Amino acid sequence: MTTGQPAPIPSEPDAARVVEAVLGVGVTEARRFPAGLAHYVFDVRTEDGRVLVARLTRPDLRRRYDGSLYWHRRLRPLGVPLPELLFADDGARFGFPVLLLERLPGSDLGEVYGGLSDEQKRALAARIVGIQAAVATLPRARGFGYALAHDDPSLHPSWPDVLGAELARSRRRLTAAGLLDPSLVDGVEALVAAHDGYLARVEPTAFLDDLTTKNVIVADGRLSGIVDVDVVCFGDALLTPALTRVALASLGRDAAYVEHWLGLLSLTPDRRRAFEIYVALFCVGLLSEIGHRFNRAEPVAADEARVGRLLDLLRRIEPV
């Protein structure tokens, strides 16, 4: 039964209230991280000097909380360097689903990338390749795509169906925002169709799709850990370096890290072409976010330089 009332939005006082109740100690600061499309994530400091992360989820997005907890419990035993889980509640106690996690030292890769040496980028790429290899040992799902659990009913019957759904979403967003031409999607759809032989053979292998310029925490040039794993994707793990390539381009950064990553994978020509197709898919995906708020205070801005970089990267991908 719906009440017609909007779902409550987690706030900094809510994060402080949760931490004080769970730890029994006062909070000196609770500051929301600016990033994030699904959860409301807060950097919290306590009177006794502890620093931790509080992730509060809107009640109507409870399934995202469920996914975070499900995968945390399955990935950490594999050696995936997720933060320690300190407390979890599904919303019964505080009105919001809550995860309290250790605060990993360091910052998102995108924030420190410009200060990394080439050797640090190479070493970081090797760590991420190793993490993805560990994730790939998970049992395969019965379908493809972004799963909150192995039995997620939203999984698709094939990998091309996942890509088609991504492109359809980008077209809807571009149309709704009215800022860029939705026909940008047409060329990428043609690329997917032309490479259907490879894409149809992709197996539902587990990988982490969002280890990009965010969620990869770096301290002193080295990997500190990874955060915000709500889903595990089943399909072609080349999707992640492709999204990272697009994210770096949007920031105006070089692609050295991604090239090190791809070099470790020894790609065949077919796989290299698939990587390029995924880059094109994410170019239109990031462009389609412009003008939409998601859970941000303001809509994603149409920054002229960023748009230009993404369009330039898209144009450089060889057409069908």
pLDDT at 39: 80
- The pTM score is 0.92
3-state secondary structure of 36: coil
Within 10 Å of residue 289's Cβ, how many Cβ atoms? Answer: 16
What's the mean pLDDT in 304-318? 94
Residue 231 CA to residue 255 CA, distance in Å, equals 26
What's the mean pLDDT in 37-61? 90
What's the mean pLDDT in 31-38? 71
Residue 200 CA to residue 74 CA, distance in Å, equals 28
Q: Which CATH architecture has domain 12-102?
A: 2-Layer Sandwich (3.30)
- How is the chain split into domains, by residue range? 12-102, 107-315
Q: Is residue 261 over pLDDT 80?
A: yes
pLDDT in tens, 230-255: 999 999 999 999 999 999 999 999 99
Q: Return left, alpha or beta for 237; rule: phi > 0 is left, psi -120 to 50 is alpha, else beta.
A: alpha
Structure tokens that stand for 63 in this block: 């399934």
pLDDT in tens, 131-161: 999 999 999 999 999 999 999 999 999 999 9
Q: Is residue 319 over pLDDT 90?
A: no
Q: Is residue 164 over pLDDT 90?
A: yes
pLDDT at 295: 63
CATH topology of domain 107-315: Aminoglycoside 3'-phosphotransferase; Chain: A, domain 2 (3.90.1200)
pLDDT at 1: 37
What's the mean pLDDT in 174-182? 92
